[in-house]
Structure 1
Amino acid sequence: MGMPFSPASIVCMARRGDADAWRALVARLTPWALGLARRKLARASDAEDAVQDAFLTCFRKLDSLRSPDAFPSWFAAILTTHCHRITVSRPAAISLEVLDDNALLPATGRTPEDEVGTAQLLAACDAALAALPPHLLDVNRLHIRHGLSIAEVAAACGLPEGTVKKRLFTARPLLQQQLARFRGDLLFRVGYLPVSDHLLAMCADHLLRGRGLPLLSRRYLSWAALADDLTHGRLDAAFIMAPLALSLRGAGAPLRYVMDGHHEGSALSLSRLAGRRRVMGLPGAFSTHRVLLAHLGLECSGVSNLPTLVVNPSSVIASMQHNEIGAFFCAEPWSTKCLHEGVGYTALRSADILPRHLCCILAVRQPFADRHGQVVADYVRALLTARDRVRRDAAFGAAVQSAFTGVDAGVARQVLERGAITFDDLEPDAPRMAAFARLAVDAGVLAEPAALPGFACPEFLPAPTP
C-alpha cells in the first residue's frame, strides 16, 4: 500500500489498527533507530534487541501517545530506556583504563550539590523545550535531548534537512531565553528584520557567538511585532525605522538613538503583470518609505499617489505574484530577489530619491542602557567590527544573511556588491535626525515634531583613535 509521507499520518493509521501502516512505520524508522542504539551500546546484537523491544513497547502503548506528531521523540525516549536497561544488565567489557582514556568515567569530585544542579539544569532544559511551539518541539527534543544528528532528525520526522535546520535555528533564541532565566543570566535582547538594512545585526550575532557578550538576537517578520515587544520591554534594543522609533518615543517609550544601522538600501519595484493592481505595498504606517514617497511626490505623482497596503517585507513578492499589490517599496534584498525571480522590476532606488538618507537606527531602551552601558558599548563595537568585515568581504556578509534569513546568498551578495546599501558614517547625528523628523512631519507620517533632546546618544561608540 502507498504510505503518506508524514510519520504522524502513518501513526494515525496504525492506531486505527492498520497493520500495513505499522509495518511501514517500523521499516521507515528502523535505520535511524539502529544508529541511535549503536551509539549507546557496544554490541550490534544488543542494539538490534533494544530496537526490537522499543518497537514492541510502542506498539503496546500506542493508544497512550497524546499526539501522533510526537511519535519520533516518544520512541527515542523509549529506545533510550531499553538501551540503558541492557547496559546496566551486562558486565563491563573493557578495562577502567580504556574508559578513563576515552573520558567515559564519571568526573571525580562531584558533590551531591553538583548532581542536584545537573538534574535541575536538565529539568530546565526539558521545560524550555516543552514551552516551544508544537512545530518546533519534536525536532529540537530529538536533536538536543536525544543527540540525533540533523540527518537523523530529518529521517525520523519525515522532513527535509533544510526544514530541520530552520526549526532548530528558530528555536535557538527561545531556548536561550528560557535557560537564561533559569541561570539568572543577563541577556541583551536585540530585534531585527530579515532585510539587508539589518545585516550588521546578523553578522555581529555570527561573530559573537560563544564570545561572552550576553546577546540574544531575534528575527521578526513584521515591524508591528518588533515595535510592540520593544515598547513593552520584551526587547532591550532593536534595529528599527527612524519614523517608527520617533513615533514610539513620542508615545512614551524610553528609547535612545545609539547609532545608524545603515544608509539607503531600499528600492521600489513594479509588477510585470499586464493587469497589475494599482496598489503599493509598504512596510508600515510609520515607515521611512512613506517619507521618501512624499518627497518623491513632487516629481512623480503617478507612483507616489498610489493607494497603499501594509505588507511585511518577506511577503511582498508573494503578494505581488497574487496581484494583491502591483508595486512595493521596501528594504533590499526583496527588490533584487523580485527581479531575480522575474516577478517584477526595479523602478527606483531610495538613494535616487534622497541620497544618504537616514533609515533604520539602533534604538536601545534607556533603562537597559543606564544599567548596562558597557554591554551596549560592546555590542556597538561588535557591529562596527561586523561592518568592517562586510566591507572587506561581501561574500561573508551574503553567506551570513543567507544563513539567518534563507535568502539566496547570490541575491544578498549582489545587493552588497552593487552598493545599494552603505554602512558608512553610523555615528548618531542629532541634526540629521532632526532634519529627517521634519521631513516625516511634512509627509504626514508623524503628526508633530518628535521630542528629540537627549534622543541621540553617541557615547556608546568607541572613541576615535588619534
Structure 2
Amino acid sequence: MEVLDKYLLKFRFIYFISSLFLATYGSSALADSTSSKQTIKALYIPLADHYAALVAYDRYASQMKFADFQIEQMKNWDLLRAYFQSGDVDMAFVMSPLAMDMFIEKPHFRWIGLMHRDGNALAINDLINEQVNLAEKRTDRKPDDSVALTLKRLYLETGKSIEIAMPHLKATHSVVLYRYLKEHGVNISFTRYEEAPVTAISVAPPKSPSFIKAKSNRNQAAAFEQSLPWADIVETSGYGHVAWYSKDVMPWKNGHVECISLATDKAINEKNKAIKEVTRFIQKAGEDIEIARSEGGIKLESIVKIIRKYIPAHSREAIIASLDPELRVINYQHLNVDKAGLKQIMDLALEGGIIMKPVDIESFSDTQFDIKTIDK
C-alpha cells in the first residue's frame, strides 16, 4: 500500500505540474494571438447605411486574424467628423460630400470602398400629403412634380420657406434633394440668409421623427430627407409618409454612391492587412444582408436582432420595411470604389453649393482594397 501511495502521490504531482504548464502555455499563446492583432477602430452613425459594419462586427470580429475590429457609434456627423479628423481612429463611414469636404480640410485619409448604395428617402407630414395624395403602395411613389409644386405653393401662400431636415448640410441627401427640386423648377437654400421656397436645415437622424412630429403639432408643413430607416419609422408609426426614394431621383448603375468607407493614411501604411480584412468582412456582411432580405424568415430575423442590439431605436418593422426585397431602396452590393459614381455626386454638390471645391478623385481614392484585388 505504501508503494501504491507513493506512485499515486508522484502521479498527482506530475499531473499538477503538467496542468500548470499547459494552462500557462495556453494563456501565453492566447495572449500572443490577441496581441498580434492590430486594433482597427471605426466610427459609425445609427443608420441603415452602416448595417453591414454592425453585422461584420457581431458575426465576424472573432474570426479576424489580423484585425481587432472595434466600432463606436457617434451621435451626429459633426462629432464623427471631429473625432476622425483628430487622427485617433483608423476608419469611419461617412456620407460622400461630407467626406470630400473633410479631405479638402485635412487629406490624411483615403476612400477605400462603399458601405452601401442608394438608401435615403423624403418623408412628408399629413399637411403636405393632403395636397399631394401619395399612392397607397410605396412601390408606386415616384419623384414626380407633386411634392415640389406643393412645397412651392405653400411657400407662396404663407410667405415662409419650408424647412426640410437633413442629416447634415454636406450630405448626399442634400445633393439628392437639390437635384429633385431643380428638375421641377424649385429653388433650395442651404443657408438661412438666402430666400427660397425650401430651406435645408441640419437635424441629427435620430431626431428627425421628433422634428416632423413637432411641426405637425403646430400645424406646419414638415418634411425631412434622411437615411433609412427613419423615413420608414415615421410611416410605420403613422405620423408621416415616404414620398420617394433617392434611387429614383439619382438613377445609377448598381445604385448611387452614398456612404463611403474611409481609412487614415497611417492605418493604411501600418495596418494594411487588418484594414483589408475588415473591408472583406464588411462586404461579406453585406452579402449576408442581401441573402437575408431575399430569403426572409430566420435569416432576416437574425439580421434584425443584430441591428437592434446596437441600434434599439430602429424598430423591427422599420428595419424590415427598409430591407424590403421588392422595393430594394438600399443595397449592399458592388461596394468597391466607384469613381464615376462619386463624380456624379461631386458635380451636383458643386453645382448646388453644397461643397465649395472639387477633390482629385484619383488622389482621394485607394483601390488596393477592392475585393478582387485583395483576393489575388
The alignment partner of 2:371 has SS state of coil
CA distance in 2, matches of 1:427, 1:285: 26
**Equivalences for residues 196-207 of structure 1 within 5 A:** 196-207=48-59
Equivalent residue, structure 2, for 1:281: 165
Aligned-residue CA RMSD (Å): 3.5
The alignment partner of 2:260 has SS state of strand
The alignment partner of 1:217 has SS state of strand
2:229 is equivalent to residue 333 of structure 1:
yes
CA distance in 2, matches of 1:111, 1:401: 37
Of the three residues 292, 308, 312, the one matched with 1:402 is 308
Of the three residues 343, 349, 358, the one matched with 2:245 is 349
Tell me, yes or no, if the aligned pair for 2:111 and 2:365 is still in contact at 8 Å.
yes
More strand by share: 2
2:93 is equivalent to residue 239 of structure 1:
yes
CA distance in 1, matches of 2:45, 2:280: 21
Equivalent residue, structure 1, for 2:290: 391
The alignment partner of 2:372 has SS state of coil
Counterpart of 1:349, as a letter, is Y
CA separation of 1:256/1:323 partners in 2, compared to 1, >3 Å: closer, same or farther? same
**Aligned sequence identity (%):** 19
Tell me, yes or no, if the aligned pair for 1:373 and 1:460 is still in contact at 8 Å.
no
Tell me, yes or no, if the aligned pair for 1:290 and 1:445 is still in contact at 8 Å.
yes
Tell me, yes or no, if the aligned pair for 2:92 and 2:261 is still in contact at 8 Å.
yes
Of the three residues 458, 461, 465, the one matched with 2:367 is 458
Counterpart of 1:295, as a letter, is R
User: What is the aligned length?
Assistant: 302
Of the three residues 172, 180, 184, the one matched with 1:300 is 184
Of the three residues 80, 91, 96, the one matched with 1:226 is 80
The alignment partner of 2:63 has SS state of coil
CA separation of 1:302/1:346 partners in 2, compared to 1, >3 Å: closer, same or farther? farther
CA separation of 1:350/1:303 partners in 2, compared to 1, >3 Å: closer, same or farther? farther
CA distance in 2, matches of 1:235, 1:319: 32
What is the CA distance between 1:353 and its match in structure 2?
0.9
Equivalent residue, structure 1, for 2:209: 317
Equivalent residue, structure 2, for 1:58: none
Indicate the structure whose relative CO is greater, using CA pairs within 8 Å and at least 6 residues apart.
2
CA distance in 2, matches of 1:218, 1:342: 31
What is the CA distance between 1:383 and its match in structure 2?
1.0
Equivalent residue, structure 2, for 1:364: 263
CA distance in 1, matches of 2:187, 2:121: 13
TM-score (norm 2): 0.72
What is the CA distance between 1:414 and its match in structure 2?
1.8
Which sections of structure 1, spanning at least 5 residues, go unmatched?
1-99, 101-106, 122-179
What is the CA distance between 1:302 and its match in structure 2?
5.1
TM-score (norm 1): 0.59
Tell me, yes or no, if the aligned pair for 1:398 and 1:410 is still in contact at 8 Å.
no
CA separation of 1:422/1:185 partners in 2, compared to 1, >3 Å: closer, same or farther? closer
CA distance in 1, matches of 2:276, 2:185: 44
What is the CA distance between 1:284 and its match in structure 2?
0.8
CA separation of 1:187/1:322 partners in 2, compared to 1, >3 Å: closer, same or farther? same
The alignment partner of 2:122 has SS state of strand
The alignment partner of 1:187 has SS state of strand
What is the CA distance between 1:451 and its match in structure 2?
3.0
Counterpart of 1:308, as a letter, is A
Which sections of structure 2, spanning at least 5 residues, go unmatched?
1-11, 13-18, 131-153, 155-159, 189-196, 294-299
Counterpart of 2:355, as a letter, is L
**Equivalences for residues 23-34 of structure 1 within 5 A:** none
- Give the 4+ runs in structure 1 shifted more than 6 A: 274-277
CA distance in 2, matches of 1:374, 1:446: 33
